[in-house]
Structures are given as structure tokens and as C-alpha cells.
Structure 1
Amino acid sequence: MDLNGKLVLLTGGTDGIGLRLARQLRGKGAEVIVTGRTPDRIEAARGEGFEVISADLATSGGVAGLLAQVAGRPIDVLVNNAGMGAAHDYRAAMPDAAADERTLQLNVHAPIRLIAGLMETLRARPEAMIVNVTSGLAIAPNTASAIYCATKAALRSYTIALREQLKATRIHVLEVLPPVVETAMTTELHMKKLSPEACAAEIVTAMQRNADEANVGQVKFLRLVYSLSPALARRLMLAF
């Protein structure tokens, strides 16, 4: 896809991977609308010249409100990037049901509802794209992040089916599978992490190439291991 002149709606675009992706997409000539929910980050992104829509996509009302605000806009690309995790490890404590529900809503329900709400808009564009950001953990889960892994696996499954449904249309479907990236969500993880700038660069390249799947960073290795032995990939990841 030639990103120059494209109108992109990017969720979770005021911090982390999303903000770096917004900057790089703009550098390719795209017009980028980002969403966020933290006031100071929203103001900072607006200070960089981005159009920002305040929306808490971990609620159904936030999704409906976002769709209402972009109604009638000629969106060419939807990037479902916003995501969150929740502690869900019975070895440590009982899970927080409210946090689980917000994670399920943001990571699974919101992308699906945004795709449905924008489908007719995307169908009407000469060239369109849906980008769903899942995770390497959608391939093989770790032990400590059970609810996060489950949501990303669900979105991966949905994305694969959606791509098949839309293969005869002008809408291309790309799945992005990042590794552990240096973001606010991973500050407590003491391991090697990919920079958000590097992750965003790989996403932009995959978009330009109309790739079906972008295995980012170390996920390339995990994908290779899984192709040789799914059981081995699962054993390796369940050690964490």
C-alpha cells in the first residue's frame, strides 16, 4: 500500500508503539487520527499536530462514541493497536474480574466492533487495510499472562478468518505479532525488549508490502520453532 495521502485511524496512538507508528505513518504522507484516554498524553499528541479522539475503548460506550465521531470520514486504514493486560495468575492471587472484563473488551470486542462499524466505509475506498496488532503470545502462550494470551489468540483467529472473508474485496488484512516491546505495559518485565520505534518501523514496512502477517523481532524465531514443533514452542513459552 502506498501510504501517502491515506487517512488512518489508529487506536492507542498516544503512547508506546502506537505513538511511534503514528509518527512514522505521518512521515510516509498519511493523515493519522489517533485515539487515547490519558489526558496528558492526549494533549502531548495534539501538541505534535495529531488529531486525537479521546475514547476509552475498554468500554462499549467508548467504542460507540469513537464510531460516532469518525462517521462520514473517508478512512482508508484501521489500525487496531490499543491493548492492555491484566494480572491473571492463580499462583499469585485471585484474578480481578473487572480487570479481566476490561482486557477482554479492549483486546477483543473493541477491534471486532470497530471493524464492523467501519466496514462499509472501508469497502467504499479504492484501497483499504485493516491492521490487527496481536502478539507473539497469540502463537504460544506464556504461563503468567493467561488472560492477555487468550485475548490475543482470539484476535489472531478472528483476523485469519476475516482475511479469508475479504480476499475478494479491496480491503487487505494484516496481522502484526510483536515481541515484548519497551512500553509502559512492560516496565516490570526484566528481559530483552524491542524498542517501540523498531517495532513501528517493521509494521510500516509490512503495510507497504501488503503483507498478510508481520512477525516482529524475536517472534520470527518463535514462528520458526512453532512451524517445526508446536509442542516445543509451547514448552518454551510456558516457562515464563
Structure 2
Amino acid sequence: MNITGKSVLVTGGTDGIGLEIARQLLAKGASVIICGRREELLVSAREEGLEAIQADLSTAAGCAALAATLANRPIDMLINNAGMSGNFAPGEPLDLALTDKAIFLNLNAPLHLIGHFLPTLLQRPEAVIVNVTSGLAIAPRAGGPVYCATKAGLRSFTQSLRHNLRDTNVHVIEALPPVVDTAMTRGRVNGKKISAKQCAAEIVDAIATNAKEANVGMVKLLRLAYSISPALARRIMIKY
């Protein structure tokens, strides 16, 4: 896709991977809209030249409100990046309220937004949907059961959606980051992390080259291991 001149919506775009994607697309000549919940981060993003809208995508009403705000805008690219961990410590009871919120934000919200924006995307000369899942959608880790389940669900949906839209102008990309140094992982996930800037660069490159997947960083090795032995890949990742 030629990114220059495209109108882009990035969810969860006020920090981390989403903000870096927005910055890099803006630098390539796109008109970028981001959304998030924290007003102070939205203000900071506006100072960088991004259009920033306050939105809570953890409910159906919040997704509908965002879609209504942008109803008359010619969106060319929808990047479903917003997410949360929703995890719980081993031995602790499952927080059902937190679990429900994580399931909606990580899985239902992308589906809702695609449902809202797909008619507009289908009318554009060329359009892209990017769903940000995770390497953990391929093989889960014990420390993140809710997160892994939602990302695996979104991965499955993305693959089916890509097939269903294969004869249309809408290209569907799945982005699979490894562990990225963001607010969500700090103090919760140990080990080597890549920067949000590096992760975003690989995702933006996948958009520019019309790739089907952006297997970011170490996820490339995970994909290789899984292709050789899914059972081995799962044994390795469950303890990660």
C-alpha cells in the first residue's frame, strides 16, 4: 500500500506500539487519528500532529461512539492495537470483572470496529485492516492465560476475515509482536524485550509491502519452531 495520503485510525494509539505506529505512519505522509482513554496522553499526541479522540473501547457503547464520531470520515486503514493483559497471579482467584473487560477490549472491540468500519473500507480504492495479536497467539504462556486466549481468538478471526475479503480491495494483516517494552509489560514480564519503535517499524513495513503477517522480532523463530514441532513450541512458551 502507498501510505502517503491515507487516512488511518490507530486504537490504543496514545503510548507503546500504537503511538509508534502512528508516528511512523504520520512521517510517511498519512493522516493519522488515534484514540485512547487518558486525556493527558491525548493532549501530548495532538502536540505531535496526531488527531486524538478520547474513547473507551472496553464496551460496545464505546466502540459505537467512536464509529459515530468518525462516521463521515474516509478511513483507509484500521489498526486494532488497543489491548490489556487481564492476567492474574498463579494461585489467585480469577477476577471475572477484569477478565470480561480484557476479553472485550482485546477480542470483541476489534470485531465491533471492523463491523462498524468495513462498509467504509470497502468503498475506498485500497484499504487495510491490521489486527495486532501476539506471538502468544501461536503458543501461550502460563502467566497470561486471559491475554493469550484473546489473542489466539483474534488470530483465528483474522485468518478467516482475510480469506473472506480476498476478492475485495481490503487487505488484512496480522501483526504478531514478541515481548515489547511498554507500560503493560514493565514490572510484569521479565526477559529480553524489543522497543516499541522497532516493533512498529516492522508492522509499518508489512503495511507498505502488503504482507499477510508481520512476525516481529523473535516471533520469527517461534514460527519456525512451531512449524517443526508445535508440541515443542508449546512446551517452551508455556514456561516463558
Output the TM-score relative to the length of structure 2.
0.98
Q: CA deviation at 1:22?
A: 0.5
Ranges in structure 1 where 5+ consecutive residues have no aligned partner? none
Give the match's secondary structure for 2:178: coil
The Cα of 1:92 is off from its aligned counterpart by 2.8
Tell me the secondary structure at the aligned position of residue 207 of structure 2. Answer: helix
* Count of residue pairs the alignment pairs up: 239
Paired with 1:144 and 1:239, the residues of 2 have a C-alpha distance of 8
Residue 190 of structure 1 and its aligned partner are, at CA, apart by 2.1
In 1, Cα distance between equivalents of 2:88 and 2:111: 23
> Following the alignment from structure 1 to structure 2, what is the Cα–Cα distance between the partners of residues 95 and 40?
31
Offset at residue 219 of structure 1 (A): 0.3
CA distance in 2, matches of 1:229, 1:196: 29
Q: Write the distance in 2 (CA, Å) between the matches of 1:17 and 1:45.
A: 14
Question: Does residue 87 in structure 1 map to residue 87 in structure 2?
Answer: yes
Q: Does 1:136 align with 2:113?
A: no
- SS of 1:129's equivalent in the other structure is strand
Matches for 1:68-83 after TM superposition, within 5 Å: 68-83=68-83
Q: How far apart in 2 are the matches of 1:92 and 1:52? A: 40
Alpha-carbon distance in structure 2 between the residues aligned to 1:126 and 1:233: 40
Alignment of structure 1 residues 1-240 onto 2, 5 Å: 1-89=1-89, 91-188=90-187, 189-240=189-240
Task: State the alpha-carbon separation in 2 of the partners of residues 138 and 87 from structure 1.
Answer: 15
Distance 1:172 1:215 in 2: 17
Q: CA–CA distance in 1 between the matches of 2:221 and 2:13?
A: 27
RMSD (CA atoms): 0.8
- Alignment deviations for residues 160-212 of structure 1 (CA, whole Å, 9 cap, x no partner): 00000000000000000000000000001221000000001001100001000
Shift of 1:31: 0.4
Q: Any idea what SS the aligned residue of 1:186 has?
A: coil
CA distance in 2, matches of 1:207, 1:87: 30
1:87 shift after superposition = 2.0
Q: Distance in 2 between matches of 1:143 and 1:166?
A: 34
Alpha-carbon distance in 2 for matches of 1:197, 1:130 = 20
TM-score (norm 1): 0.98
Deviation of 1:47 after TM superposition, in Å, equals 1.6
1:235 positional shift: 0.2
C-alpha separation in 2, matches of 1:27 and 1:42:
18
CA distance, structure 2, for counterparts of residue 190 and residue 129 of structure 1: 33
Q: Distance in 2 between matches of 1:177 and 1:198?
A: 13
What runs of 5+ residues in structure 2 fail to find an aligned partner?
Answer: none
> 1:88, CA displacement in angstroms?
3.2
State the percentage of identical aligned residues.
Answer: 56
Measure how far apart 1:37 and its partner are.
0.3
Matched residue SS, 2:194: coil
Deviation at 1:86, TM superposition (A): 1.3
**Separation (CA, whole Å) in 2 of partners of 1:213 and 1:17:** 16
